[in-house]
Structures are given as structure tokens and as C-alpha cells.
Amino acid sequence: TRKETWLETLHDGFGQYFSVDKVLYHHQTDHQDLIIFENVSLGRVMALDGVVQTTERDEFIYHEMLTNVPLLAHGNAKRVLIIGGGDGAMLREVTRHKNVEQITMVEIDATVVDFCRQYLPNHSAGAYDDPRFKLMIDDGVNFVNQCQEKFDVIISDCTDPIGPGESLFTSDFYQGCYNSLNEGGIFVAQNGVCFLQQDEAVNSHRKLSHYFKDVSFYQAAIPTYYGGIMTFAWASNNPALRQLDVGTIQARFDAAGLNCRYYNPAIHTGSFALPQYLLDAL
Ligand code: AG3
């Protein structure tokens, strides 16, 4: 029997396919097209508007990098804000940090939260029951511009800047994040695969630099975000936070008692090294 084939539609004329062993859920939500299916090599795959967001097999790389790098660089984060993150894996990774006292997640699409909880149980892995956690169903831009609270780390676990995720790449959003950070705070964001989405990196860098004193990227290769390394935007007012030495990070990592599958202190410090073509473009 021939399996169905699912094709990702993200980049012009260059893409990836997945065989679909079983569609677990497929629905047009109020915001986007959501599909969760089973694939023989990657486990369960979740896509929004035709773009892969996460797979069971390789999600750990992305989620460990977007949480542990800012949290350990900060060193004393108590209040963490996740924008997006409806699959629950970012929350799971933040809950591993015992010194964090409050975790707020602002997701625009309640359907993504509900059905990822059901069909990607290993992503949230019980984290929704954590007493430190608070869920808001709201637009991220709206939230950061209205909220009276401040955070130590803000993580933008967004989609690409097409569809509902577009507003999470605007100056309006970045300004709201800047204003919602405590002193010493760090903002990080998914910023695309820089070889294929270079404009995205250049634009975010320019917009963020308007508010933050220190703006750069760090990177990791995530197989299902194909095309080379993914860059994560990094913004703070203190350049020293992204130049911490490996010994400092190792001490914090040991103290936190973390167990990771991709992240380690050498990966942390090394991830701030960027390809020359990107540096030249910024
Ligand atoms: N959201 C980021 C998906 C980015 C896909 N972009 C790409 N392949 N260039 C992931 C959400 C996981 N919590």
C-alpha cells in the first residue's frame, strides 16, 4: 500500500517531504491550518499552515537551546515568559529549572494547545500541571504591550513571519518585550534558517537594535528545519551575558542539575559563533 506524502511549503522551489503513516488530527482552527501526523522516521509531526513546527524526534535540540542558553546566561531567572509555544515543549524545558518561580505562556491559538496536549503528550510531559505555570490565550503583541508585569527571560517560540506569526517580528512586539523585561533581562526568539531566510535575520537585528544595547544571534542545526543552521535572536542590554566563559556556564549547569540531550556548556558558548556571510549581512 502506498503511503500519503505530505509536502512542506515554506521556501520557493526547495523543500522536504514526509510520508504520513496516520493523520492524528487535521483542522482549520480560528487562526491557522493545524495537522498532526505520524511519520516512520520522526515520530509525530506537527505543522501549521503547511510548515513543520515540531517533531518528536528532533524537538529537543530546538527547545533545549531556546531555554537553557538564556536561562543559564541570566543566572538567576525567576520569571519567564513564553510567547507562542502551544505544543508545550518550551514550557517543559523551562519547568526543569527549579529556581524559576513563575512561567507565563501566551499562545494565540487554544486549539493548538488542546490538541498538542492530546497528540504530542511527550512535548508537554506533564508540565501543564506545574503550579508555577499560567496560560493566557492572547495575541503576543497585545500581551507584551498591555502587561504590567516584568520578566527576566522572554522566549519567542513563534512560527515563521507568515500568517499569525508575522506580528512577532515587528518593532511593536520587540518594544513591548523590551519594556516587559527586568534589568538584566534577556529576549530570545526563533529566527529562521539564516541561509534560506537571511532577510529575516537582517530585519530582526535592525529592529531589535533600536531598543536593546546588545543584539546578536546564536545557532543550532535542527534537522527538520532544513537548510543549515537555525539562528535564534538574542537581545539584552549587557554584552557580557553572551560572552560568559564555559567554566561559568558549567558551574551554573551543574548547580541546576540539568540533564540534556543536545545542550551542554561547550555547545552554549560555541553557539554564539556565526557564519561570516551572516555577520557581513548584518
Ligand atoms: N516554531 C518554529 C518553526 C520554524 C520553522 N521554520 C523553518 N523551518 N525555517 C517551532 C515551534 C516549536 N515549539
Ligand 1 in contact with 90 (CB < 6 A)?
yes
Distance 247 CA to ligand 1 centre (A): 31
The answer to whether the CB of 151 falls within 8 A of the CB of 181 is yes
CA 7 to CA 66: how far, in whole Å?
A: 27
1 pLDDT band (50/70/90 cuts)? low
- In testing the pocket of ligand 1, which one of 59, 62, 156 has its CB within 8 Å of the most ligand atoms? 62
Place of cell 549581512: 281
Ligand 1 in contact with 200 (CB < 6 A)?
no
Distance 240 CA to ligand 1 centre (A): 28
Whether complex ipTM tops 0.90: yes
Nearest residue to 236 (alpha-carbon basis) of 182, 162, 165, 161:
182
pLDDT of residue 246: 98
CA 142 to CA 275: how far, in whole Å?
A: 34
pLDDT of residue 59: 98
Record the cell numbers describing residue 228, joined without a space: 543549515
Which one is predicted more confidently, 108 or 163? 108
pLDDT of residue 140: 98
- The per-residue pLDDT for range 6-62, each reduced to its tens digit, is 999 999 999 999 999 999 999 999 999 999 999 999 999 999 999 999 999 999 999
H helices present in the chain, as ranges: 59-74, 89-95, 110-119, 121-124, 140-146, 171-179, 198-209, 246-256, 265-270, 276-281
Q: In percent, how much of the chain has pLDDT > 70?
A: 100
Query: How many C-beta atoms surround the C-beta of residue 282 within 10 A?
Result: 15
Record the cell numbers describing residue 2, joined without a space: 502506498
CA 117 to CA 122: how far, in whole Å?
A: 9
Indicate which residues carry an active-site annotation.
Answer: 157
Q: What is the DSSP string of 226-258?
A: -SSEEEEEEEES-GGGGS--HHHHHHHHHHHT-
Smallest CA separation from ligand 1 atom 2, residue: 159
Q: What is the DSSP string of 192-216?
A: EETTT-HHHHHHHHHHHHTT-SEEE
- The per-residue pLDDT for range 217-265, each reduced to its tens digit, is 999 999 999 999 999 999 999 999 999 999 999 999 999 999 999 999 9
